């Protein structure tokens, strides 16, 4: 650890003023080295006060408000939050793709739990091999290495585990829940439109396992939000009530009092590599729109960021740590059960498609119906509308509509909305 990082650790540890001489003695360096290190920390944005005869003091509350994201901030939080997820963590200002970095490190023997975090990707990856530009404007991009010992048909479900962890983290960090924290007596149910009515859903299920690599859904600013002209400083500075949910299977969406439309704020891309028909490794990557306030015009209508919805900046290091804390807990439950059964209740609570009409575009037989939840394997459970499937003939000769629950499963269908994005 560098002198700079050691000084930062000491300032955070003591919580008050620490003299330059004490820092010099503890670290075994000169007073000049201490002064230079403090100067570098200030250049990085740390609010460090210096008072004669008292020493140096770090204003941690202001540091948190300033959304500092670097190696030291990540290490400090992950050390407290997790046992193996994010150990080690590598912070990089700019990468081609965090997923590519993790896979390269995996080839060099990196252990499970290795995490790469960045604020800019130049070759971010999305669905169907598309390239996404991921700007350094308040977002965070991160990828984690897994080395699971499980069947190949089970591993893709980790994408749903990740979605649950991120959505719960957003609600926890922002102090919100799917019912606007219970603050509004007439708050709409989570699966309903703001006026209490049921509107349609739009879903694309990308879990697949078709060879050496299985890629699932998009990452980065594929989703966008509002343009600067549409948002304005007044909207961003107002504190809003907000709720975060999951659009099946793994898109994190948000809705707030200033904008009742559900909009996407996170994408997840999971890549699985095989070796002799067994899983070699799994890389799970996340792109989170946290404090970004402007997006390209072509994606401005369908996405958002945490800041745009809540009206306040969020410390990204806190979000990273909370995401992986939740993921570590949920992933261990998933691995032990070999299915999503232990997580179904929590996931369905956040599922915005639940109790909403959906249109299933099955190549064999498309149909409409109402989504009612998910299966233990992550498929969307849909009750078909009456008349969507041929009637069955009962023993007494009468006809009965076939409305048995259908499971919308990976790789065979997509689901599109009757109205809107969600």
State CA 322 to chain mean position distance.
10
- CATH code of 3-65, in short, is 1.10.10.10
| 25 vs 31: CA distance, rounded Å | 9
Give residue 188's pLDDT: 38
Residues of the chain with CATH 3.30.930.10: 71-350
pLDDT in tens, 68-79: 899 989 998 999
pTM of the full predicted structure? 0.78
Residues sharing a CB contact under 8 Å with residue 73, sequence separation 6 or more, in sequence order: 317
Residues sharing a CB contact under 8 Å with residue 333, sequence separation 6 or more, in sequence order: 342, 343
pLDDT in tens, 158-184: 999 999 999 999 999 988 765 533 333
Give residue 305's pLDDT: 92
Helix (H) or strand (E) holding 180: none
Give residue 368's pLDDT: 86
Counting every residue written for the chain, the total comes to 422
Is residue 245 a contact partner of residue 263, using CB atoms and an 8 Å limit?
no
| 402 vs 390: CA distance, rounded Å | 7
Give residue 115's pLDDT: 98
Residues of the chain with CATH 1.10.10.10: 3-65
3-class SS at 392? strand
CATH of 357-416, one of 1.10.540.10, 3.40.50.300, 2.30.110.10, 2.30.30.100: 2.30.30.100
List the beta bridge partners of residue 381: 373, 407
Is residue 194 a contact partner of residue 260, using CB atoms and an 8 Å limit?
yes
Q: Check residue 128 and report its DSSP letter.
A: G
Phi, psi of 213 (to 5 degrees): -135, 135
The CA distances from residue 420 to 199, 349, 364, 388, in Å, are 8, 21, 25, 22
Handedness of CA 326, 327, 329, 330 (dihedral sign): positive
Residues of the chain with CATH 2.30.30.100: 357-416
Residues sharing a CB contact under 8 Å with residue 362, sequence separation 6 or more, in sequence order: 408, 412, 413
The encoded tokens of residue 397 equal: 């000769």
Domain 71-350 architecture: 2-Layer Sandwich (3.30)
State CA 308 to chain mean position distance.
16
Is residue 244 a contact partner of residue 170, using CB atoms and an 8 Å limit?
yes
Q: What residues of the chain score a pLDDT lower than 50?
A: 133, 180-237, 418-420
| 225 vs 292: CA distance, rounded Å | 9
Taking Cα atoms as reference points, which of 280, 274, 284 lies closest to residue 217? 284
| 74 vs 328: CA distance, rounded Å | 16
């Amino acid at each position: 650890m560098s002198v700079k990082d050691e000084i930062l650790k000491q300032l955070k540890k003591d919580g008050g003023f620490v003299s330059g001489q004490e820092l010099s003695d503890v670290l075994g360096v000169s007073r000049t080295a201490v002064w230079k290190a403090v100067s570098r920390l200030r250049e990085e944005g740390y609010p460090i006060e210096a008072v004669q005869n008292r020493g140096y003091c770090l204003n941690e509350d202001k540091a948190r408000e300033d959304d500092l994201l670097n190696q030291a901030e990540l290490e400090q939080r992950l050390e407290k939050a997790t046992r193996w997820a994010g150990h080690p963590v590598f912070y990089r200002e700019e990468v081609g793709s965090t997923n590519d970095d993790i896979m390269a490190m995996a080839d060099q023997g990196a252990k499970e739990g290795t995490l790469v975090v960045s604020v800019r990707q130049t070759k971010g990856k999305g669905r169907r091999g598309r390239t996404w530009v991921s700007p350094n404007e308040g977002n965070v991009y991160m990828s984690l290495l897994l080395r699971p010992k499980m069947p190949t048909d089970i591993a893709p479900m980790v994408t749903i585990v990740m979605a649950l962890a991120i959505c719960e983290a957003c609600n926890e960090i922002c102090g919100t829940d799917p019912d606007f924290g219970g603050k509004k007596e007439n708050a709409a149910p989570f699966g309903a439109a703001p006026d209490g009515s049921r509107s349609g859903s739009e879903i694309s299920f990308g879990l697949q396992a078709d060879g050496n690599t299985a890629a699932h859904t998009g990452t980065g600013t594929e989703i966008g939000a509002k343009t600067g002209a549409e948002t304005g400083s007044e909207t961003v500075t107002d504190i809003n009530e907000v709720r975060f949910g999951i659009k099946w299977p793994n898109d994190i969406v948000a809705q707030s009092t200033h904008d009742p439309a559900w909009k996407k704020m996170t994408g997840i891309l999971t890549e699985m590599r095989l070796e002799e028909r067994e899983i070699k490794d799994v890389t799970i990557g996340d792109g989170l729109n946290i404090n970004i306030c402007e997006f390209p015009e072509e994606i401005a209508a369908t996405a958002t960021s945490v800041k745009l919805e809540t009206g306040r900046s969020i410390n990204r290091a806190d979000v990273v740590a909370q995401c992986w804390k939740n993921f570590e807990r949920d992933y261990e439950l998933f691995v032990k059960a070999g299915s999503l059964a232990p997580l179904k209740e929590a996931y369905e609570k956040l599922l915005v498609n639940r109790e909403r009409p959906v249109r299933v575009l099955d190549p064999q037989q498309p149909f409409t119906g109402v989504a009612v939840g998910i299966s233990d394997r992550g498929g969307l459970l849909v009750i078909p509308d009456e008349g969507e499937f041929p009637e069955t003939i009962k023993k007494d000769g009468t006809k009965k509509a076939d409305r048995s629950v259908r499971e919308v499963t990976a790789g065979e269908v997509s689901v599109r909305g009757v109205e809107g994005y969600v």
